[in-house]
Amino acid sequence: ASPSSDADAISRFQEYLRIDTAQPAPDYAAAVAFLRDQAAAAGLEARTLELAAGKPLLLLRWPGRRPSLPSILLNSHTDVVPSEPHKWDHPPFSAALDEATGRIYARGSQDMKCVGMQYLEAIRRLRSAGFVPDRNIYITFVPDEEIGGHEGVEPFVLSKEFKELNVGLVLDEGLASPGEEYRVFYAERSPWWLTIKAKGAPGHGAKLYDGSAMENLMKTVEAIRRFRTSQFDLVKSGEKAEGDVVSVNFAYLKAGTPTPTLLISKKLWYTGFVMNLQPSEAEVGLDIRVPPSAHVEALERRLVEEWAPSSRNLTFEFKQKMSVLDNFGKPAITPADSTNPWWLLLEEAVKSAGGKLGKPEIFPASTDARYFRQIGLPAFGFSPMANTPILLHDHNEFLHKDEYLKGIGIYESIIKALATHKDGVKDDESRAEL
């Protein structure tokens, strides 16, 4: 690509990054309007599906020469997580390009507006070079990934529109890699978001007694911390990878007599702050991630018996709970070896574009890929960002402009390889003709 077309690609990336699609109030309308223009410029057909009111899912198509072949789906989400703007060096929706370092700062620069735009840029380049795919190539821009996908990919995979696409393989997001090698993911941990509530006897703050809500809850916190340490130790010792253990983190703690913000802001601490009450209720929120290999029944037993026993006046409720198995009762895993011809194509395509793939891993967090794997489709998580610190959901999320541009070339190679029909190669899983 010429320097001027590279500069244009960077500008388009920045334009997408500047659209504030942060949860919990993403501007989906602006994102879809922008992306529809980009799709038109890339010569793609566009449809907007509204599977939930106000949550548009943009579906693009690059028609193949042989539309009866299984298609390729390139997925990305349009929403991003919230940020604390005053703690960033550049405002999170400025997409500021730091001239000294070449870094583009924005919420979504890694997770995952980069990938969505790279798909489109790669297609523009392949088209202008005269390439025509054999298979249909679909590109989806989906809402609500960051809040669980319940009004995004979850209903999409069950829709009539999705079935009509005859998808054979899905690509979705991966993670940045601080080293030379790109990371690639063949499975992921299932998200369990859990609240545990304690009740207990209220009383004077000076009194030592058993069975207060705080005491009941803190015993739970201690038990969870011991379990957390045991899992983390396996990672620290190198015995297991991050994606192979159960992670548990405290998302929030809530208890006590609320102190009015007004009093805090006026610094009336001494006159207004009440601390001599032991509360009758206390609550903790947990983010738990469960690997596909986990012994789920054992974990559930631990929860009922150790973390939230009713004997200690505790109750629990899941806010998210995804099975680690697919709809056929098997761990939701995409083979990443020579038994899967898609894998071989992906590996070769990255290599021939000058990239190196690391050993395939289990994604430690969660992505929309899990919904595709759940219905039995192969899906790989991949975001071409090497030499890049992992900053998703962090302050000062950035991507170097050269890494971004390099990623476009990687996708050119991948899309070309996956879109081209290879005679004599069969897909064992789906029995579909590759």
Contact between 139 and 35 (Cβ < 8 Å): no
- d(C-alpha 343, C-alpha 351), whole Å: 12
Q: Which helix (H) or strand (E) holds 220?
A: helix 213-236
CB-nearer residue toward ligand MET: 133 or 364: 364
* 295 assigned to a ligand binding site: no
* 188 assigned to a ligand binding site: no
Q: Any bridge partners for residue 252, and if so which? A: 285
Phi, psi for residue 121 in degrees, rounded to 5: -65, -40
Site string for ligand MET, 141-160 (x = CB under 6 A): ----xx-x------------
* 173 assigned to a ligand binding site: yes
- The one catalytic residue among 15, 98, 121, 145: 145
Exposure string of 275-291, with b = 16+ CB inside 10 Å and e = fewer, is eeebbebbebebbbbbb
Does position 366 interact with ligand MET (CB under 6 A)? The reply is: yes
- Which stretch, 91-99, 301-309, 364-372, 383-391, contacts ligand MET (CB under 6 A)? 364-372
Q: 113-128 and 28-41 helices cross at what angle (nearest 10)?
A: 20
Does position 374 interact with ligand MET (CB under 6 A)? The reply is: no
Question: CA angle, corner 282, sides to 276 and 284, nearest 5?
Answer: 135
CB-nearer residue toward ligand MET: 94 or 320: 320
Tell me the CA distances in angstroms from 324 to 1, 89, 305, 366, one per residue in order.
Answer: 42, 39, 22, 11
Site string for Zn ion, 81-120 (x = CB under 5 A): ------------------------------xx--------
By rule CB under 5 A, what count of residues binds Zn ion? 3
Task: Quickly list DSSP for 371-399.
Answer: HHHHTT--EEEE----S----TTSTT-EE
- The one catalytic residue among 15, 37, 50, 79: 79
- Radius of gyration, alpha carbons of the chain: 24
CB-nearer residue toward ligand MET: 281 or 287: 287
- Which stretch, 15-23, 93-101, 195-203, 360-368, contacts ligand MET (CB under 6 A)? 360-368
Exposure string of 411-420, with b = 16+ CB inside 10 Å and e = fewer, is bbbbbbbbbb
- SS3 (DSSP) at 413: helix
Q: For residue 384, how many C-alpha atoms fall within 13 Å in the half-sphere facing its CB?
A: 30
Site string for ligand MET, 156-195 (x = CB under 6 A): -----------------------------------x----
- Annotation marks residue 79 as catalytic: yes
CB-nearer residue toward ligand MET: 102 or 148: 148
Among 365, 415, 417, 419, binds ligand MET (CB under 6 A): 365
By rule CB under 6 A, what count of residues binds ligand MET? 8
Residue 366 binding result from ligand MET, Zn ion, none, given CB thresholds of 5 to 8 Å by partner type: ligand MET
Give residues in contact with ligand MET (CB under 6 A): 145-146, 148, 191, 320, 365-367
Active site residues: 79, 145
Give residues in contact with Zn ion (CB under 5 A): 111-112, 173
